[in-house]
Chain A
Amino acid sequence: DTEVTQTPKHLVMGMTNKKSLKCEQHMGHRAMYWYKQKAKKPPELMFVYSYEKLSINESVPSRFSPECPNSSLLNLHLHALQPEDSALYLCASSQEHEGTELFFGSGTQLSVL
């Protein structure tokens, strides 16, 4: 199984809502990532988890809260988002944080109204 599965595929939320994005991989990878991608732009790194510990937070606003419950799961909790947070949110994993290959999910397309 070489898949990274993200749910939901699409999400529409209001600025006062709380929602969560989920990501799962069963490749035994020990590093997991959240990227944000605006339309026609490259993916930008948000967070890195290595061995279930947050190792990198790229100055992401606190309205985004990551969580890694176990080595196979990665969540991104969303609260009080702004319309400019609308984007494709991509999850990725790699063997180790220093791994040479990233495996990406298909992303969650988020719209904040």
Chain B
Amino acid sequence: DAKTTQPNSMESNEEEPVHLPCNHSTISGTDYIHWYRQLPSQGPEYVIHGLTSNVNNRMASLAIAEDRKSSTLILHRATLRDAAVYYCIQHNYGQNFVFGPGTRLSVLP
């Protein structure tokens, strides 16, 4: 079973920042937080992952709470192409990736 909880859906306006929350209250010290997204008619794609510190890459930023029980995926400027289902996954080295229901993000023009 998935160990994270996310809102079912969120809406954003184009060119505005989007903050996608994720709760992972059972996280252990060696669990990473991974984010994948699935665009329509595609397989999931990797977005970002982190352990304790905030992380940035060309796609997004990941802000992890100090107690690590929650995190936020930040898309700095949403585009129509960012409309997708976003999956937050609590993952430990050696385990399989278990996908929860995710958050369906709609981006309005």
Which A residues lie at the B interface, using CB under 8 A? 4, 41-45, 48, 56, 90-92, 97-98, 100-107
Contact = CB atoms under 8 A, between A and B. Distances in A.
Given A42-B87, A92-B43, A100 B49 contact: yes
Lowest 4 CB-CB distances: which A-B pairs, in order?
A: A104-B43, A42-B99, A98-B94, A101-B46
A102 B97 contact: yes
Most buried by A among B42, B49, B100: B42
Contact of A106 (B42, B49, B87, B97): B42
B96 A103 contact: no
Interface string B21-48: 0000000000010101000011111100
A42 B102 contact: yes
A101 to B, nearest CB: 5
Contact of B98 (A45, A92, A97): A45
Contacts of A42: 2, 87, 99-102
Given A100-B34, A106-B41, A45 B46 contact: no
Contacts of B45: 104
Contact of B99 (A43, A97, A101): A43
A4 B43 CA distance: 10
14 contacts: A42-B2, A42-B99, A42-B100, A42-B102, A56-B96, A90-B43, A92-B43, A98-B94, A100-B32, A100-B93, A102-B44, A102-B97, A106-B41, A106-B42
